[in-house]
Structure 1
Amino acid sequence: MPSMVGPIKINSVDGGVINFGDSFYLAPKASSKTNAGSGALNTGDFINTNNGLSSTNPFDPDFKDQGNIGNA
């Protein structure tokens, strides 16, 4: 089915796939976990973050959060 893609701005791509328009099958090829504080991973041209007290707990009791078995 046809689709329209509007204005696009890509700052960087680090090991990924970019799809425009329709896509039949998407599956992650890798998985990772990142711990960051409040407002640490914001992206954009003009960023203004006002954070009070921020705390991040990097300890996770789970063995696995997201597997990538079977994604060829």
Structure 2
Amino acid sequence: MPAKVGAVKVISLSSSSIFNIGDVYNMAPQATAKTFAGGGSFNTGDGIRIRLNRADTFVNDSEVIDQPIVNNA
């Protein structure tokens, strides 16, 4: 179903961004990243209270390639 979109103002896009308005068949990333963080690391908002008695992050990543970007144009 086609989308009707009003005015759009784009301030900035990074070098690996994808920007789209409307219907999409395929969007292919040109870069990938992986982030590991402990509990409560990415919380945002007003008045958030977090109590972590122990906040350790143990990572066991056995995958060599998580998201291949070969042949993406």
TM-score, normalised to structure 1, is 0.63
Tell me the residue number matched to 2:65.
Answer: 64
Structure 2's unaligned 5+ residue stretches are none
User: Quick check: which has more Rg, 1 or 2?
Assistant: 2
TM-score, normalised to structure 2, is 0.62
Tell me the residue number matched to 1:29.
Answer: 30
Identity %: 35
Contact 2:38 2:57 in 1 (8 A): yes
Moved over 6 A (4+): none
1:1-43 Cα offsets, whole Å, 9 max, x none, are 421458x8x8974331222232222111111111111121235
Q: What's the Cα RMSD here?
A: 3.1
Structure 1's unaligned 5+ residue stretches are none
